[in-house]
């Protein structure tokens, strides 16, 4: 019997008597809960196929999280936190096995400040439930991933970056979104710490490598009943011009997505017929609909008013955007994968250059975002998969064209981001996880520290 399995058995014996911890031990549960949505990347599919947790544990409350952290620390067993498991880069895949900790029972909304709208919530709260609850109090989440119906708020802050709302609110790591955290450290005697915003930032988008988040303090926005619009444009240049005109207007927007025409036939039927044009999808405040119509008329575009969003229904226009576009195309044809980048300006020149080189092996999907105060175009182009070398070549061409790439085919925080080590993230790991047991293998700066 291996030392590893002896250690795990001993850990299990310690934990089994704890009534605050629920075990999922069925081998199919172990496999299922050791995966996320990394299969969007053929590169990661190969790398992660064999990774599996030894134990899956669901703590009932924060005190149980502390006992679990203490036991893992004493037995030197890795612990990987898992929210809803919708991350795209194997973010919650336990590379070195050990324990996968589910946050689903930690879902209390602890407080909403009636004056500031700041909400304090536990990490396992589903974003859909949180958003609906906030709406009953006149507020809403500022930023949501297109997986908002299933994703957890802790998983979004630890693993996500932006999405619906990014046209107004930029990205999660922009100052002003995350206002504080409660964190449990990974030590023999875990501490439960309250971190102010400037210390919390180091855990924002750190894949759970440098602390177990047990509560988050987030800014919210006044609730709006967003209106859904679909606009078909005859040419790509017109569509991009209209997208930018909307983004730069004084219209209150929650989402502006542009899909190249060949993508439309792969969207679900409920999204409407594919015409000859490229399609813009917008969430706009009710007082902005007539202004969008005016801008659409000026670009000879055809606007369809799909009415107010039904957030209680199963699907809406939101579920055609961000990485849901990739999901729909891959459902029709899994030989497609994707990239993520911020386009350089002027955007049309860069896209034309890449189109010339890559033809229809690249289909454009754009999202308007606010980046450092300006409206910019992010791209999540669909890419016809052939092999890792061609993907690398394409990424190099994108960089040469001036794009900032966020590679979705890599495992570490740094390589999926700007490529550089964030010293604050590494310092936080030293402080909150000194033995390096949290989600090992995902923070490159930790492996490379001197």
Ligand X SMILES: Cc1cc2nc3c(=O)[nH]c(=O)nc-3n(C[C@H](O)[C@H](O)[C@H](O)COP(=O)(O)OP(=O)(O)OC[C@H]3O[C@@H](n4cnc5c(N)ncnc54)[C@H](O)[C@@H]3O)c2cc1C
Give the tokens for residue 151.
């994703």
Q: State in angstroms the smallest separation of the CB of 293 from ligand X.
A: 27
Q: Which of 22, 40, 170 is nearest to 105 (CA)?
A: 22
DSSP of 39-64, one letter per residue? Answer: GG-HHHHHHHTT---SEEEEESSHHH
38 vs 358, beta carbon nearer ligand X: 38
- Least distance to ligand X from the beta carbon of 150, Å? 7
What is the C-alpha separation between 109 and 104, in angstroms, rounded?
13
Smallest distance, ligand X to C-beta of residue 156, A: 3
When the beta carbons of 88 and 358 are compared against ligand X, the nearer one is 88
State the nearest-atom distance from the C-beta of 48 to ligand X, in Å. Answer: 13
- Contact residues for ligand X, defined by CB under 6 A: 36-37, 80-88, 91-92, 103, 123, 145-147, 151-152, 154-156, 158-163, 207-208, 212-213, 322-324, 327, 439
Q: Which is nearer to ligand X, 202 or 230 (CB)?
A: 202
Instruction: Please state the closest distance from residue 285 (CB atom) to ligand X, in A.
Output: 20
Closest to 326 measured CA to CA, from 48, 127, 39, 33: 39
Supply 280's token pair.
Answer: 């813009």
Rounded Cα distance between 112 and 151, Å, is 21
Provide the token pair at 254: 């929650």
Task: Return the number of the residue (296 or 343) whose C-beta is nearest ligand X.
Answer: 343
Whether residue 207 contacts residue 91, with contact meaning beta carbons closer than 8 Å, is answered with: yes
Query: Could you tell me if 226 and 107 are in contact, meaning their C-beta atoms sit under 8 angstroms apart?
Result: no
Nearest distance from C-beta of residue 164 to ligand X, angstroms: 7
Q: How far is CA 181 from CA 122, 157, 165, 184, 201, in A?
A: 10, 11, 22, 10, 9
DSSP state of 208: T
Q: Looking at beta carbons only, is 78 or 159 nearer to ligand X?
A: 159
**For ligand X, which residue has the nearest CB?**
155
Nearer to ligand X, 44 or 233 (CB): 44
Nearer Cβ to ligand X (207/236): 207
C-beta of 12 vs 442, nearer to ligand X: 442
Nearer to ligand X, 206 or 421 (CB): 206
| Minimum gap (Å) between residue 75 Cβ and ligand X | 20
In whole angstroms, give the CA distance from residue 339 to residue 325: 12
Dihedral angle, C-alpha 352, 354, 359, 364, nearest 10 °: -80
Q: What is the closest distance, in whole angstroms, from the C-beta atom of residue 41 to ligand X in the complex?
A: 11
* Residue 114 C-beta-side C-alpha neighbours within 13 Å: 0
- Spatial neighbors of 168 by CB under 8 A, at least 6 apart, are 142, 221, 252, 253, 254, 370
* Residue 433: CB minimum distance to ligand X, A: 11
């Amino acid at each position: 019997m291996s030392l590893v399995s002896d250690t795990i058995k001993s850990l299990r014996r310690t934990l089994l008597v704890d009534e605050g911890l629920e075990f999922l031990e069925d081998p199919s549960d172990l496999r299922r809960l050791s995966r996320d949505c990394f299969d969007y990347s053929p590169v990661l599919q190969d790398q992660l196929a064999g990774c599996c947790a030894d134990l899956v544990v669901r703590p009932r409350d924060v005190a149980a999280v502390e006992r679990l952290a203490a036991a893992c620390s004493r037995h030197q067993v890795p612990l990987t936190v898992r929210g809803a498991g919708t991350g795209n880069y194997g973010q919650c895949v336990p590379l070195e096995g050990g324990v996968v900790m589910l946050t689903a029972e930690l879902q209390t909304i602890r407080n909403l400040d009636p004056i500031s709208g700041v909400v304090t919530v536990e990490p396992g709260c589903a974003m859909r439930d949180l958003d609906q609850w906030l709406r009953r109090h006149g507020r809403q989440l500022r930023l949501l991933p297109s997986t908002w119906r299933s994703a957890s708020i802790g998983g979004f802050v630890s693993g996500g970056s932006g999405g619906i709302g990014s046209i107004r609110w930029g990205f999660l790591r922009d100052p002003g979104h995350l206002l504080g955290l409660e964190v449990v450290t990974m030590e023999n005697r875990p501490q439960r710490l309250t971190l102010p915003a400037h210390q919390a930032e180091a855990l924002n988008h750190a894949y759970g490598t440098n602390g177990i988040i047990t509560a988050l303090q987030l800014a919210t926005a006044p609730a709006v009943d967003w209106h859904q619009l679909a606009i078909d444009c005859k040419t790509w240049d017109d569509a991009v011009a209209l997208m930018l005109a909307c983004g730069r207007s004084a219209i209150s927007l929650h989402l502006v997505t542009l899909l190249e025409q060949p993508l439309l036939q792969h969207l679900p039927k409920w999204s409407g017929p594919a015409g000859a044009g490229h399609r813009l999808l917008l969430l706009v405040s009710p007082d902005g609909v007539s202004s969008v119509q005016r801008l659409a008329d000026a670009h000879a575009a055809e606007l369809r008013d799909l009415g107010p969003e039904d957030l209680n229904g199963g699907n809406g226009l939101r579920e055609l955007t961000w990485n849901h576009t990739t999901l729909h195309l891959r459902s029709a044809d899994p030989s497609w994968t994707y990239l993520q980048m911020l386009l350089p300006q002027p955007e049309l020149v860069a896209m034309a250059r890449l189109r010339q080189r890559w033809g229809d092996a690249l289909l454009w999907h754009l999202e308007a975002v606010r980046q450092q105060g300006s409206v910019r175009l992010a791209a999540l182009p669909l890419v016809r998969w052939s092999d890792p070398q061609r993907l690398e070549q394409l990424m190099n061409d994108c960089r040469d064209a001036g794009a900032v790439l966020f590679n979705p085919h890599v495992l570490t925080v740094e390589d999926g981001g700007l490529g550089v080590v964030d010293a604050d993230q590494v310092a936080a790991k030293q402080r909150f996880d000194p033995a390096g047991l949290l989600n090992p293998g995902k923070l490159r700066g930790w492996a490379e520290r001197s």
